[in-house]
Amino acid sequence: AQKITQTQPGMFVQEKEAVTLDCTYDTSDPSYGLFWYKQPSSGEMIFLIYQGSYDQQNATEGRYSLNFQKARKSANLVISASQLGDSAMYFCAMRVEISHGGSQGNLIFGKGTKLSVKP
C-alpha cells in the first residue's frame, strides 16, 4: 500500500535557525513524485517543492530544500533561516504516477507537522 508517514506532530525552531521536517514514504512503484505543501491557519495548501523519483539531485526552492534519500525512502524538508511567517502545518505528499484503477495523478498526504517559529 502507498503511504506517507510524518512522525513529528509538532516542531519548534528559533527564528533564523534551520529546521528539518521528516517524511518517509512507502510505495512499490518505480515512478512517483514527492511534494511538500504548507498550510497556514488560513487553510490554503501552498506548494513548496517537488522531487521526482528519477531526479538525481535534491530539489531546492529558495530557502526550501528536499533531502531525498531513495534507498531509505525518505524525503525530508529543510527550511533554512526560519522566519516567523514559516509557522504553519507542513504536509508531505506522494503522487501516484502509475495508474491503479484510475488513481494516476492522485496525491497521498501524510498527517502533517505543525511548525512553530519562536522569535
Partner 1 sequence: EAGVVQSPRYKIIEKKQPVAFWCNPISGHNTLYWYLQNLGQGPELLIRYENEEAVDDSQLPKDRFSAERLKGVDSTLKIQPAELGDSAVYLCASSFAGGTYEQFFGPGTRLTVL
Binding site for partner 1 (CB under 8 A): 4, 35, 37, 42-47, 50, 91, 93, 95-97, 101-107, 109-112
* DSSP reduced 3-state for 101: coil
CB of 99 to partner 1, least distance (A): 8
d(CA 33, CA 97): 7
Q: Which is nearer to partner 1, 43 or 85 (CB)?
A: 43
Q: Which is nearer to partner 1, 3 or 16 (CB)?
A: 3
Nine cell digits for residue 104:
494516476
d(CA 115, CA 91): 11
For residue 26, give the nearest of 92, 77, 113, 101 by alpha carbon.
92
Q: Which is nearer to partner 1, 12 or 15 (CB)?
A: 12
Q: Which is nearer to partner 1, 38 or 82 (CB)?
A: 38
CB of 108 to partner 1, least distance (A): 8
Nine cell digits for residue 40:
497556514
CB of 15 to partner 1, least distance (A): 26
CB of 68 to partner 1, least distance (A): 17
